[in-house]
């Protein structure tokens, strides 16, 4: 029983869930429409549950790949049965949907689109070169949009969502390079398998360069001040270094990329906080 409970928790990827909830909260904060603690809390909880459900269903469909790439995960090692993981995911999705209905129409629309995206990612798009990466990029960026929609504004979160989406695309391609062995064994055609690992990494690096080039935009538009520019410059540096590192060590690079993504989100928080002061 203890191993089953632990396995169920592992399916959700708690750290990823908390991180996604934090991004939604950041979107709500950056939107800056007065104080809206209740809608923000509901949006954060909805995000956490939806991401947990998406992670669980992803492990259900990836169980054979994980037996090669990640044999210590809950399903391959037998802590949770495939059917149990599917049922667990369904319950989490149901609760997330119920919470989402308490939010404004724009937030409900984003939640509905994301629900379809989460379910179809593994079943349809994951093995399609580039499209699976783009879908994950959208899902990460949309957490900021969801937070903004929950409190009634999408203006500033749109910029943050776009930057987060492009940088996430880069990280996902790096992760696909890391997982090439298992993906090839399963017959998946991820981007590195379709065009080659180095070409995929160059494409990912090019996408990041675009994101870095436009990252000063909120400062240039006068939305945020110099504090934002300073923190986002650090974030850009971390992510650019991760791209360089990916050519020799994709595992370390994709982990480092997470830090850069959160630093970029922190730049928006700092920029908004300074404006409020």
Predicted pLDDT of residue 34: 61
> Residues in the chain with pLDDT < 50?
none
pTM of the model: 0.83
**Cα dihedral 97→6→140→114 (10° resolution):** -20
* 173: Cβ contacts below 8 Å, ≥ 6 apart: 133, 191, 192, 200, 201, 203, 204
Query: How high is the pLDDT of residue 65?
Result: 78
pLDDT at 50: 93
Q: What is the pLDDT of residue 277?
A: 56
* The pLDDT value given to residue 40: 94
pLDDT tens-place string over residues 114-148? 988 887 877 777 667 888 889 989 998 999 999 99
On whether the CB atoms of residues 168 and 140 are closer than 8 A, the answer is: yes
Distances (CA, A) of 184 to 89, 181, 194: 27, 5, 10
Domain ranges of the chain: 2-276
Nearest in space to 171 (alpha carbons), one of 138, 127, 199, 201: 201
- pLDDT for 156 equals 81
* pLDDT for 127: 67
Report the candidate in 103, 38, 28, 6 with the shortest Cα–Cα distance to residue 265: 28
Query: Would you state the pLDDT for residue 276?
Result: 59
Beta-carbon count within 10 A of 268 CB: 26
Nearest Cα neighbor of 192 from 255, 250, 120, 252 is 250
Has domain 2-276 been given CATH number 3.30.70.20?
no
What distance in Å separates the CA atoms of residue 65 and residue 185, rounded to the nearest whole number? 8
- Non-local (6+) Cβ contacts of 180 within 8 A are 190, 192, 193, 197
pLDDT tens by residue, 82-114:
999 999 999 999 999 999 999 999 999 999 999
């Amino acid at each position: 029983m203890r191993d089953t409970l632990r396995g169920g928790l592992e399916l959700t990827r708690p750290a990823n869930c908390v991180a996604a909830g934090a991004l939604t909260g950041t979107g709500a904060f950056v939107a800056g429409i007065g104080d809206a603690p209740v809608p923000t809390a509901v949006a954060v909880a909805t995000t956490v549950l939806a991401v947990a459900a998406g992670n669980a269903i992803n492990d259900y469909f990836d169980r054979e790949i994980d037996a090669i790439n990640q044999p210590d995960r809950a399903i391959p090692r037998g802590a949770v049965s495939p059917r149990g993981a599917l049922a667990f995911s369904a319950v989490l999705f149901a609760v997330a949907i119920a919470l989402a209905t308490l939010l404004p129409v724009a937030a409900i629309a984003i939640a509905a689109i994301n629900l379809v995206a989460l379910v179809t990612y593994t079943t349809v798009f994951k093995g399609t070169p580039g499209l699976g990466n783009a879908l994950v990029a959208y899902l990460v960026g949309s957490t900021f949009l969801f937070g903004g929609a929950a409190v009634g504004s999408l203006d500033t979160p749109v910029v943050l969502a776009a930057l987060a989406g492009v940088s996430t695309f880069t990280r996902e391609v790096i992760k696909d390079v890391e997982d090439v062995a298992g993906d090839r064994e399963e017959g998946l055609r991820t981007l590195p398998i379709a065009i080659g690992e180095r070409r995929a990494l160059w494409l990912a690096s090019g996408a990041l360069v675009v994101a870095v080039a436009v990252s000063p935009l909120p400062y240039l538009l006068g939305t945020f001040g110099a504090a934002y520019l300073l923190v986002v410059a650090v974030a850009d540096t971390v992510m650019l270094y991760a791209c360089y590192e990916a050519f020799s060590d994709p595992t370390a690079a994709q982990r480092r990329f997470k830090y850069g993504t959160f630093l970029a989100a922190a730049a928006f928080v700092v920029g908004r906080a300074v404006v409020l002061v």
